[in-house]
Amino acid sequence: MSQLQQLSVPHPLRVFLLGAGQRPDVLAEAERLRPIIEQHAEIVRTDFTGSEDLSTIEADLAIVLGGDGSILRAARQMGHRQVPVVAVNLGKLGFLANMSPDELPNILREFAAGRMRIIEHLMFECVVLRGGEACCRQLGLNEVVVHAGTPFSLINVDLYVDSEPVTTYSCDGLIISTPVGSTAHCLSAGGPILRKNLQAFVILPLSPHTLTMRPVVDSAERVYEMVVERPNAGTSVVVDGRALCQLQPGDRVRVARAAARFKLVTGPGHNYYRTLREKLGWGGRLKLNDK
């Protein structure tokens, strides 16, 4: 499947309006933007709680107000029926949420006419196997982290790729990240930045006991498993910043490509390296001619 799509909508545009309702600026901006959106589309569902299951509701587009955390929540709500997302940045950093509210009317017109670019991004499914049976599972976009947890002593994490043993990490935790997640927790822990539409995972130990344990990038076609034979009392699995479950001895945490793909609408004038320059504050002596 192509990573870049253009869609046309044969009927009046149907949209979700989503955001983090605990933030007053999001609610105020939603109220301001609602009549503007309704000039171009029908709002079929509004949710600022993050509690609704959106996978059963027909829509063409999701408008998400806020930062990257709001987008991760929207992706989780849509589950295996992902619709394209227009990410309006009301946060501070926003690698995914990189459109301004002023761009929204033109984006809606162009999307309805089939003239907007939609870039698909890798998603994964995390399954925790206990005694050979799945005890919990979660679709994710950013990363899976096995955290050592309390009492905050090192844990040994065995890594398997396609059922083959790779190594044992003695560390504070182990991250398996998508390219989208490479600019999140993975980046702050010293990992590499991957172009967001690459089909790959980053494997990154947190504070490894052996300094030769470096980040590894491998194909998204492979299946990754993490096993902690002797977890701490608080050792847990975290998916996209949310605790999935606490680990018991011998649990297998399996991470594999999901059939669903996150779909991000990209506006004119937005490009990968410009986003990195602006969001990460990269300097240098480049003579830029951005238009």
What's the longest Cα–Cα distance across the chain? 59
**Is-contact 70 18, C-beta < 8 A?**
yes
Distance CA 138, CA 125 (A): 6
- Do 172 and 207 meet the contact criterion of CB atoms below 8 Å apart? yes
Quote the tokens at residue 273.
């390296």
CA distances from 238 to 41, 54, 176 (A): 36, 22, 11
- Tokens 């990240």 sit on residue: 177
Which amino acid type is present at position 74? Answer: A
Active-site position among 47, 60, 68, 172: 68
Active site residue 68: yes
Got the DSSP string for 76-123?
A: HHHTTS---EEEEE-SSS-SS--B-GGGHHHHHHHHHTT-SEEEEEEE
Residue with tokens 């999901």: 258
CA pair distance 243, 207, nearest whole angstrom: 20
Q: How far apart are CA 123 and CA 259, in angstroms?
A: 8
Helix, strand, or coil here: 249?
A: coil
Cα 35 to its chain centre, rounded Å, is 29
Beta strands 164-171 and 133-140 are: unpaired
Enzyme catalytic residues? 68
